[in-house]
A and B are shown apart, each in its own frame.
Chain A
Amino acid sequence: MRRACPHWSTALARPDILALALGWALAALPAAGNIAYVTNQNGGSVSILDLAAGTELAQVPLPGQPAGIAVAADGFFAVSPDTKSLRRFDAAGNETGQVALDGGPIGIAHDPLRGRVFVSDWYNARLWVVDAASMSLTGTLETGTAPAGLAVSPDGRWLASADKEAGQVSIFDLESLALAGTVPVGIRPFGLGFAPDGRLFVGNVGSNDVSVVDVAERHVLATLPVGDQPYGVAFARGRAFVTNQHADTVSVIDLGTLAPLGEIAVGEYPEGIDATADGATVVVANWFSNSVSLIDAETLAVTAEIATGDGPRAFGRFIAERGD
């Protein structure tokens, strides 16, 4: 009888990944092109993936069971609920700062216009506001019960929080940080994302659907059935892509008609999802399978699978385009 140790065994059993993990500091990072930063919650690390090459460039230790992730122009931020901390990294995965967040830090979003990072406090119905440059706590914002996923609108005007146990999203004005209002959505909203046109898509874990929200008017435009236990939302090529944790699939929705375009089979417990800036590729973190699946956003075919560390969550925006 074989039992998989829920920690490092999966990565360490693979000589190639072990070599990368030990040698990451020596590697020439980052490569150019689309790079994915995948938080491995059970393994306690971040996998840095070259999406074009289909390889793991490095696996950087990141203690505290990291889940939330937000990429920035020159690096990324990651949230560790177990050590109650937010850490900042450069593009190669070297830590450049951290701040303690005493509560249940989980979701994260970055506002590059104002140099702020927002982190949800799962246990205390609030968001932390952190100055990205100094990595210091500058305030808190009150939400509904159990805030989880966070997202910043494409025009930089709004911040949205999925308040899971409240069954609502809270909308904040990013300029004033005032609460603009709340919108009731489905049952237990967790992940969410803004479409390029500014509509907010919210995955409701408990009602197996997605609420489409008009943020400025603060009402639900449509409720779309998806698969079992939807988690994250991403957008590419005029389509929304939603991970269904218990169905092991990604639901695809046409952004014009809001009609379902089908379900794509991926790995087990698909969670974090994001798209490359050119919209060509959608990447899904498969929490149980310890991999990411790459989806061609045009043909909807799965084109590659890349191994990660143990328990990839990648909860947030995790793909960045890097220069040479």
Chain B
Amino acid sequence: MKLQGSLAALTAVAVMLPALALAHGPTRQKVDVTAELAAEPAEVWAVVGDFQDMGWHPAVHATTGEGGNTLDATRLLTLGAADGPTIAEELYKYDAGKMTYSYRITEVAVEVLPVTNYSAHLTVKPRAGGGSVVEWRGAFYRGYPNNDPPPELNDEAAIKAVTAVYEAGLSALVDRFGAP
């Protein structure tokens, strides 16, 4: 969730982007990151399973939202600092029994996360031999919806950015709960 590229490059990109905010590139990308933790699933879910509190992720400064963990609940993540960039998200699946939820981004600047049409699942499962496995999976299109994207908004940039977000979050969970 770091800023991508220089400010000058970002300004140029903003000018080039068309008005069709919901348009997207031709190929949806996927990222799948897992981490094994020493703690049991229920203990981990108690921390990551609240849609209204993403404080377990080191990049998230604050979470505000409405609707709790019910369908169509919303949250606004503020990144880094109180005046940091934001990501608006909504919940579209929640199953506490299966310890999984799915959400999508409803609004984010491509300078913050270079993706469009982003959805993701976060799931906690038991690990064979004890402990738990956390899986974070995302599906998204690149930040640039038209042909011939600039390098900072192409497919590779989108995959790299989302992977970095997931790895940072799951690394923090490994630090918190220990490796099995």
Could you list which residues of chain A lie within 8 angstroms of chain B, going by C-beta atoms? 1-4, 6, 41-42, 65, 67, 81-82, 103-104, 106, 122-123, 145-146, 165, 188, 206, 228, 246-247, 268-269, 287-288, 311
Contacts and interface: CB of A to CB of B under 8 A. Distances in A.
A288 B102 contact: no
A268 to B, nearest CB: 8
B96 interface: no
Nearest to B29: A6
14 contacts: A1-B171, A2-B34, A4-B31, A6-B31, A42-B27, A65-B27, A67-B26, A67-B27, A82-B26, A82-B27, A287-B28, A288-B30, A288-B139, A311-B30
Contacts of B23: 146, 165
Interface residues of B, number: 30
Nearest to A310: B30
A309 to B, nearest CB: 13
Interface of B: 20, 22-23, 26-36, 92-93, 102, 104, 119, 121, 137, 139, 146-147, 159, 163, 167, 170-171, 174
B156 to A, nearest CB: 10
Query: Chain A: interface secondary structure?
Result: loop
A246 B92 contact: yes
A41 B146 contact: no
B16 to A, nearest CB: 14
Contacts of A104: 26, 146-147
Nearest to B133: A2
Contacts of A4: 31-33
A206 B121 CA distance: 20
A246 B30 contact: no
Contacts of A2: 33-34
Contacts of A82: 26-27
Contacts of A41: 27-28
Nearest to B146: A123
Nearest to B35: A1
Nearest to B31: A6
Nearest to B145: A123
A224 to B, nearest CB: 20
Contacts of A146: 20, 23
